[in-house]
Amino acid sequence: MRTSMYDRISEIRELEEKLAEEARLAKEALPPPPERFHTNELSFIRPVGFKDKTFHVFTLTDIGPSPLSVVIGRSVVEEDAELESVAQQLLSELGKSLSHLQWIEPLFPVQIAGVDARQVEFKWRQQGQPVHQLQLIFLHRDEQDQPLMMQITGTSNGAQGMTPAERAAFFSIVETLKLRSKPTPDDQGGGQAALA
């Protein structure tokens, strides 16, 4: 039995609607987090519930205080966290915890590796000795797609504050920074995500 042209148009329309709905649902489905956690030298499977409190610390000396150190830290933040609010909260906490805190350069917007960031510069005294810091703050995501506050902190222990050479060394790191891109489904089998 032959169907009418209107029946075929109706069938085609229903099929198109069904395919469009399947495509929409597939697009909305979130892929599972990648299995592997990456450091510079290795990767491993991070067990559920284990918190990443990684700090990368770079110094100029093996023993004793370094004239300049650079620390890269990360902290999990709320899903809807906004950069300005997170940065202001961090500054408030610094003001409460550091003795004789003096702001050299107030918080201001910058770009790091193509993302919005905030920069601040300050000094304080630690056990009677001067400490001078430059700090950059931005938001990113980890391998499990959790929102993070990233901090890059340059610390100088010089009596006169951060020298021009120390400042140049700190910004040479910042200027060459590339963020690891969000892992793609191809990367979830254990391969590394491409660098931006």
pLDDT tens-digit profile of 64-91? 888 999 999 999 999 999 999 999 999 8
- pLDDT category at 115 given cuts 50, 70, 90 is very high
Per-residue model confidence (pLDDT) at position 174: 93
- Expressed in percent and rounded to 5, the helix, strand and coil fractions of the chain are 30, 35, 35
CA angle 30, 34, 38 (to 5 degrees): 145
Per-residue model confidence (pLDDT) at position 195: 35
Torsion of CA 122, 61, 178, 182, to 10 degrees: -100
Q: Which residues contact 8 (CB under 8 A, 6 or more apart)?
A: none
Confidence check: pLDDT of 33 > 80: no
Residue 101 CA to residue 85 CA, distance in Å, equals: 20
Beta bridge partners of 71: 57, 153
- pLDDT category at 189 given cuts 50, 70, 90 is very low
pLDDT tens-digit profile of 11-30? 888 888 888 888 877 777 76
CA angle 76, 82, 151 (to 5 degrees): 50
- pLDDT category at 34 given cuts 50, 70, 90 is low
The pLDDT of 135-161, averaged and rounded, is 90
- 141-145, long-range: CB < 8 A, 24+ apart: 141/182, 142/52, 142/74, 142/76, 143/33, 143/34, 143/36, 143/37, 143/38, 143/46, 143/183, 144/33, 144/34, 144/46, 145/30, 145/33, 145/182
Confidence check: pLDDT of 191 > 50: no
pLDDT tens-digit profile of 170-187? 999 999 998 876 544 443
Please tell me which residue, 49 or 73, carries the higher pLDDT value: 73
Confidence check: pLDDT of 121 > 60: yes
Per-residue model confidence (pLDDT) at position 26: 74
Confidence check: pLDDT of 5 > 80: no
Confidence check: pLDDT of 54 > 80: yes
- Buried/exposed 156-175: b ≥16 CB within 10 Å, e otherwise: bbeeebbeeebbebbeeebe
Instruction: Name the least confident of 98-102, 127-131, 143-147, 181-185.
Output: 181-185
Residue 29 CA to residue 178 CA, distance in Å, equals: 28
Confidence check: pLDDT of 190 > 50: no
CA angle 38, 41, 42 (to 5 degrees): 50
Mean pLDDT value across the chain: 83
